[in-house]
Amino acid sequence: ELDRIPHPPRRLPLLGDVLGVDRRTPLQDSVRLARGLGPIFRRKAFGNEFVFVWGARLVADIADESRFAKHVGLGVANLRPVAGDGLFTAYNHEPNWQLAHDVLAPGFSREAMEGYHSMMLAVAGRLTDHWDRELAAGHTVDVPGDMTKLTLETIARTGFGHDFGSFERSRPHPFVTAMVGTLTYAQRLNSVPSPLAPLMLRDATRRNAADIAHLNRTVDDLVRARRESGRGDGDLLDRMLETAHPETGERLSPQNVRRQVITFLVAGHETTSGALSFALHYLSRHPEIAARARAEVDRVWGDTPAPAYDQVAKLRYVRRVLDESLRLWPTAPAFAREARKDTVLGGEHPMRRGAWALVLTPMLHRDPEVWGADAEQFDPDRFDAKAVRGRAPHTFKPFGTGARACIGRQFALHEATLVLGLLLRRYDLRADPGYRLRVTERLTLMPDGLRLRLGRRTAPA
Ligand code: HEM
């Protein structure tokens, strides 16, 4: 069945398609290969064959929930030692997925989001205080570093009533260092033959065990503090600890709570930080787009120091800037789908039950049949209402698809739109003319070494 699927021309015995491959950038290597090999292709590494799909027609088919479902494989499966049957890494059949999904979903309702808004605003205020100081000192700002501080503090505060004190530290919080270590390790596991991993990655494996221990300790402290202090204010942690399933009355076990807290702290900040960073990069490179976005913020927000919840969704153009950034650089750049039964993908490629393929989102988002010959260009107008109506479904998938799509989508979009609005209103963003976009990978994507020079806008507040 695989015979009809193209693969790179020069294959090595045992090693497979490893020529010209950089272990640090597996995703960008796949994107490069995709351009040459077309809408479906395969890569082989150490005896394992992976199928990638990105053509819009095939992706729409693999999004069909009656025939396909999420597959927990590769990078996601490598996170099982730390996140276990937490929401993101659970197998579809694990009972704790449905239980946690039902218990936690109300934590992402509109009412819940309204409740988070003032906390998000307060955390954003710490970012602008920090940036004001950098500006006054004549420094440039470290965009990915500061966006990571912002998004970590936001999820910690809104979800768990916790403060990591990121803005008061000159180095990343040890939790972040441990998390980055674990993500990087999970990605590296894919780049060595699995029987040899214990040998080749011996030191890394030891460090990873220490990282996981650190993550667990941080979370256990956080949970203990909550139990001792009594109830929070109905945040995610309260839900995890107190809420019984509406129908079965079942509760999350202490072990599962630990996994969910880690899952939310990691899934809830790394990708949003990347999305904000790419958006700021493009805004700094396109002053005319930044001016249009800023004019919208001034119009919709006036000079209110604290925009209300409803005023965020009204920033339609700012939101398009974000969507367009997520189109070019979807910061969770792939998701895997498996056949629920024997089926034929796209009417052409037979798949047995359990067979799986990776959807390569950055290429789906650049398919010229959907996005046109200028698909590489940054243009937020691709997301104006008329353009969106004219586009086929399943062509824009930064948050995955189906039952296992991102539970935090509205949370991320609200937070990121709010922060972009605040930053546009307050600063001029000046690109370093010497900077060329480089993207680092640790399962998620991030612009590497991006620094901006700020100018202070005088009006309004
Ligand atoms: C799942 C992307 C923000 C929590 C996913 C998936 C994607 C994704 C692609 C599906 C993965 C798969 O199919 O294997 C993103 C992006 C974000 C973002 C691009 C920001 C721009 C967030 C936030 C939270 C969150 C803010 C939490 C507050 C989760 C969880 C899952 C998930 C728990 C697993 C859901 C399940 O399987 O039931 N995300 N995410 N994400 N995301 Fe997000």
- DSSP letters of 107-121? GGSHHHHHHHHHHHH
pLDDT tens per residue across span 161-183 = 889 999 998 888 898 899 889 88
65, 312, 333 from 318: Cα distances, Å: 32, 9, 22
Alpha carbon nearest to ligand 1 atom 32, residue: 406
Task: Output the ligand 1 site: residues, CB below 6 A.
Answer: 70, 76, 87-88, 101, 155, 263-264, 267-268, 271-272, 275, 330-332, 335, 398-400, 404-408, 411-412
pLDDT at 19: 55
For residue 272, report the distance from its CA to the centre of ligand 1, in Å. Answer: 10
- DSSP letters of 407-427? TTHHHHHHHHHHHHHHHHHHE
Positions at the binding site? 406
- State which ligand 1 atom lies nearest to the alpha carbon of 269: 26
For residue 89, report the distance from its CA to the centre of ligand 1, in Å. Answer: 11
For residue 172, report the distance from its CA to the centre of ligand 1, in Å. Answer: 23
Positions at the binding site for heme? 406
Burial status of residue 341 (CB atoms within 10 A of its CB: 0-12, 13-18, 19 or more): exposed
pLDDT band at 18 (very low <50, low <70, confident <90, very high): low
Which of 406, 410, 443 to mutate for ligand 1's pocket (most ligand atoms within 8 Å of CB)?
406
- State which ligand 1 atom lies nearest to the alpha carbon of 159: 28
List residues with catalytic annotation: 271, 399, 406
Predicted confidence (pLDDT) at residue 10 exceeds the cutoff of 70: no
Predicted confidence (pLDDT) at residue 120 exceeds the cutoff of 80: yes
Predicted confidence (pLDDT) at residue 186 exceeds the cutoff of 80: yes
pLDDT tens per residue across span 281-313 = 999 999 999 999 999 999 999 989 899 999 999
Residue 305 main-chain phi, psi, to 5 deg: -70, -30
Predicted confidence (pLDDT) at residue 314 exceeds the cutoff of 50: yes
- State which ligand 1 atom lies nearest to the alpha carbon of 275: 21
